[in-house]
Chain A
Amino acid sequence: MELDPLILSRIQFAFVVSFHAIFPVFTIGLASYIAVLEGLAFKTRNPVWTKLSTFWTKVFAVVFGMGVVSGIVMSFQFGTNWSAFSQASANFLGPILSYEVITAFFLEAAFLGVLLFGRDKVPAGVHLFAAIMVATGTFISSFWILAANSWMQTPAGVEFREGVFHVVSWSEAIFNPSFPYRFMHMALASFLTGGFVVAGVSAWYLLRGREFEANRKALSMCLWLLLFIAPAQAVVGDFHGLNTLEHQPTKVAAMEGNWETSRNVPLLLFAIPDQENQTNHFEIGIPSLASLILTHDWDGEVPGLNEVAVEEQPPVAIVFWSFRIMVGIGVLMILFALAGLFLRAGGRLYKTRWYLQGMRFMSIAPFFAVLTGWFVTEVGRAPWLVYGMMTQAESVTPSLTGGMALFTLIGYIVVYALVFSAGVYYLMRVLYVGLEDADDEEHASDRPARPLSAAHVPFEIESGSHGVHQAKPANEGGH
């Protein structure tokens, strides 16, 4: 079989970007949480907030470090595998992506070092300011990245001349039609990720009887946050979907598994999309509900995949199922947030083991929701790279052979498997050591902004030393 460089490049990009995305989506949310903790510590002078902030800053440092390392690869992918696209779109994407890099460096140079290493070296107000600036900086970074991505989804403000995009309006190109929705959706996704991770880890510590006061506060404040933003995400997601329906109807048709334009379209709960025969098998759906959601009318007309030629359809099954997984996890998030409210009202929040165990598992759920969400929007754009203007096939590096692409694909998988299993393993060690280590912090470390060195945790498990805490049942301690 002939190796197809296009397919292999798509797989490679999906692999590298998916691996990268999980780190920033977490750090964006976590940075805001740390800023809030710092604000509370500054205002109330309660050492519990400082303890929580110190611990989560350590976690932030490790995850941020892994995000930076995986991000370096991203900035070269465009050139190695998508050089025709890079050449054509550089007038817009070049400056936009460079501004992201500049933002990140400016942030790291000015404030990250103060946040990670300056707790006892600068006044508390300055430290708080640094935390706020780091949180703001992560949003500015995502602003540029999402502007670039949204422009590829709904291109605006450019002219295509002699094979190259020329910017005619920077504001129209940056604030393109899908950008506000995607930015809001992604910002809330980051908060949900940060919130569920902190809540899940706190629940785990509570189950093991560790640091009751601090971890209760952490769990409690996260659940209040989630109670509002989990439903809000559903609303924003709906608006984002309507925006997609307006600008990329084929993607919505794939999300709904809707092959033919029609009225009274059911909301499919289950189906096996069959691209070859342009139909679904084993459909289970709720009649007319998709029409209602998308057009706000029970018998509204919903465009189908038949609006475009078969070769202009995205791979329907991936989009269809990714969308269902994302929405399913979103529903679970809302349910867990509501359950938290009821347990709190009954005064049983910190003692209900099934709930704490459930939150523990929910801490990884947002990552799957984020990845499947990106699968929907990225795969759903196929075969276009710049929607309606440039296809993926036109974008791939002309000199790239299947063998070269396969070599680097395997190479990146091996490198990432080695490096990031070490990283994730180390993160687990930091979590295992926990908040208790926060008191004997401040080793002789006056090093500047080197993220990972902010976490003073040994790499291996050392028997008999710190980091081993006896588990106590959740309902015993912490009176």
Chain B
Amino acid sequence: MELFDLALIWAFIIGFGIIMYVLMDGFDLGVGILFPFAPSEEDRDTMMNSVAPVWDGNETWLVLGGAGLLAAFPMVYSIFLPALYIGVFLLLAGLIFRGVAFEFRFKARTSRYLWNWSFAGGSTIAAFAQGAVVGAYIQGFNTVNGAYVGGALDWLTPFTVLTGLGMLAGYALLGSTWLIMKTEGRLQEWAYRVSAPLLIAVLVVFGIISVWTPFVDDMVRERWFSNLSVIWILPALTLLCAFQIWRSVRNRFEGMPFVATMGLFITTYLGLVVSKWPYVVPPNYTLWDAASAYESQLFLLLGLLFVIPIVLAYTAWTYWVFRGKVRAGEGYH
């Protein structure tokens, strides 16, 4: 007896996990992307210290998402990963290099520049790969009978390169506004200065993507221009967030730029979700097609409902402990 639509519940859980991951790992990847351009080595120390206590907790959402996909929507897992085979490898390699750099850079002396590059390069590649995944999802996949049948580099198109660059700029903006909130003095001033051009880059790329998407995807065009005009509220909110970022950066507010950038990501994400809903493997499969068996979804849900609140509480506690400004030379180990 199927009492609830578990596939729908799982779609919300996974969807929540994805946006949690994007927001949280987004700013620490962004700090990595900005790393080579920092004013000084001392500022780089401060930048890394500002994300060091939380980055690995942020990445747990990615692993949870991967495992959750296999359990709840195995078709998504077994189509996305083969289709994005090369991209997934680059993403993992990037995450490994930057993860290890976090640990060893603080302990290194003469080899520090190597870990700097490992951190910056790994973050940049991982961010680009994630953006390309979003682009590939919008494009859709070449499937037959629930299996991917396309080529190794089908995902790599001008469109996905653009979404990759969009994600790079977006994460960099999350990173710079995070630094505005968490640092002070020269580094904070630098973060204010780079935020404006990054915002412009984000708007330009997001704009091009928005104009381009209806040409890539007929369903989206249909939905945007005929069926569901209420959808336009989301891009309007996105622009409102962008205006808020610009205004708060210009007025030297400290917390608002980061909050507004998160808002920009959330509204863009919701825009994507309502454009594609309920297709999880476009253009053929909905979330109900991709779901695993009812009893399997139920079996895991019981454990997850117990653990997610604990992970959330722990996450909140960590951020609370490390609230406030990070100063140069502090928290150094």
Interface of A with B (CB < 8 Å)?
A: 65, 68-69, 72-73, 75-76, 78-80, 83-84, 86-87, 90-95, 97-102, 105-106, 108-110, 164, 166-167, 170, 397-401, 403-404, 407-408, 411-412, 415, 419, 422-423, 426, 443-450, 452-453, 456-460, 462
Contacts and interface: CB of A to CB of B under 8 A. Distances in A.
Nearest to B114: A422
Contacts of A110: 310, 314
A80 B82 contact: yes
A448 B315 CA distance: 10
Contact of A447 (B86, B99, B151, B331): B331
B74 A448 contact: no
Contacts of A76: 66, 81, 88, 92
Given A72-B63, A80-B85, A86-B78, A453 B103 contact: yes
Which of B83, B299, B331 is packed against the most chain A CB atoms within 10 Å? B299
A45 B306 CA distance: 37
Contact of B70 (A78, A444, A453): A78
Given A399-B149, A412-B89, 7 more contacts: A72-B62, A86-B74, A106-B307, A166-B295, A167-B296, A450-B103, A459-B107
Contacts of B74: 86-87, 90-91, 94
B8 interface: no
Interface in B135-188: 146-152
Interface stretch (B21-29, B52-60, B260-268): B52-60
Given A399-B147, A399-B149, A80 B88 contact: yes
A84 B310 contact: no
B211 to A, nearest CB: 31
Given A72-B92, A80-B82, A450 B300 contact: no
Contacts of A398: 82, 147-149
Contacts, number: 205
B132 interface: no
Contacts of A450: 52-53, 56, 102-103
A246 B62 CA distance: 41
B314 A109 contact: yes
A101 B67 contact: yes
A83 B300 contact: no
Given A94-B71, A450-B53, A457 B107 contact: yes
7 contacts: A83-B78, A87-B75, A95-B71, A95-B296, A101-B64, A412-B89, A443-B333
A90 B67 contact: no
B225 to A, nearest CB: 34
A86 B77 contact: yes
Interface residues of B, number: 68
Nearest to B304: A102
Contact of B296 (A83, A91, A411, A453): A91
Contacts of B149: 398-399
In the A-B complex, list the 6 residue pairs whose CB atoms are closest, starting with the nearest: A94-B71, A79-B81, A90-B74, A83-B78, A452-B103, A95-B300
B228 interface: no
Contacts of A449: 56-57
Contacts of B304: 98, 102
A90 B292 contact: yes
B200 interface: no
A444 B331 CA distance: 7
Contact of A444 (B52, B85, B333): B333
A92 B296 contact: yes
Contacts of B109: 458-460, 462
A93 B100 contact: no
Contact of B81 (A68, A80, A447): A80
Given A170-B299, A415-B97, A79 B293 contact: no
Contacts of A97: 67, 70-71
A84 B78 contact: yes
B106 A83 contact: no
B303 A99 contact: yes
A109 B314 CA distance: 6
A95 B311 contact: no
B93 interface: yes
B73 to A, nearest CB: 9
A453 B86 contact: no
Nearest to B94: A415
Contact of A458 (B64, B107, B150): B107
B1 interface: no
B100 A401 contact: no
Contact of A83 (B79, B100, B102): B79
B77 A69 contact: no
A438 B26 CA distance: 37
A407 B85 CA distance: 10
B120 interface: no
Contact of A404 (B68, B152, B303): B152
Contact of B147 (A83, A91, A462): A83
Contacts of A65: 103
A430 B183 CA distance: 33
Nearest to B102: A450
A460 B115 CA distance: 13
Given A411-B89, A448-B321, A94 B81 contact: no
Which of B80, B147, B151 is packed against the most chain A CB atoms within 10 Å? B147
B86 A407 contact: yes
B106 to A, nearest CB: 7
Given A94-B67, A105-B60, A457-B107, A401 B152 contact: yes
